[in-house]
Amino acid sequence: MFPRSTPSELNDLMHIEFASFKKEDCFTYDRLRYFIKRTTNGKMHSIYFEGKMVGYFIIKFYKFHLRIYSIAITAPGKGLGTKAVEFIAALGVALKKKSIKVEVRQDNACAISFWQKNGFKEEGKRLSYYADGMDAIEMTKDISNARAGKDSHTV
């Protein structure tokens, strides 16, 4: 369901990117290719549903946490976002990370609600974070008490 993204998927990934974000917030083709090739401090995974690519997520690795750098899903209501968060949490537990972090547009009430339902709490703001000057809300999910193999999904 969440294989590593490959260069052969770039065109599909670009379609998902433009369907999911404002033009000024979209990654370029070259930037997505960079995320696909990166292996040391992060990963990019595609999201598939019923044999079709419907999204992706990019995670970055830090000393004590994972950061969800971007997530885009074009098939809402299927539970794919929650399953992706569970996958990322399991990866974080396996890597002995303490938390997962994400930034969300302050005006995106739907996304804020999604992250809250998945155990994220508001932690701060990043002023003028987006290209149009919109602030971002920093959200964090504590995974320090989860145990690999018992409280998490297999990565």
The string of DSSP letters for 134-153 reads --EEEEEEE-TT--TTTTS-
150 falls within a domain:
no
* pLDDT score of 38: 83
Number of domains the chain is built from: 1
74 falls within a domain:
yes
**Do residues 38 and 30 lie in contact, with contact meaning Cβ atoms separated by under 8 Å?**
no
Digit-coded pLDDT (tens) for 85-109: 999 999 999 999 999 999 999 999 9
State the residue range of the domain holding 127. Answer: 7-142
122 falls within a domain:
yes
155 falls within a domain:
no
For the chain, give the number of residues: 155
* pLDDT score of 149: 53
One-letter amino acid at 100 equals I
Looking at the DSSP bridge assignments, the partners of residue 46 are 56
Query: What's the gap between Cα 153 and its chain centre?
Result: 17
* pLDDT score of 63: 95
Distance in angstroms (rounded) separating the CA atoms of residues 29 and 143: 33
The residue assigned the tokens 């709490």 is 121
Question: The domain spanning residue 138 has which CATH number?
Answer: 3.40.630.30
147 falls within a domain:
no
148 falls within a domain:
no
> Across the 155 residues of the chain, what is the mean pLDDT of every consecutive 10-residue run?
95 95 89 89 95 96 96 94 97 96 96 96 95 94 79 45
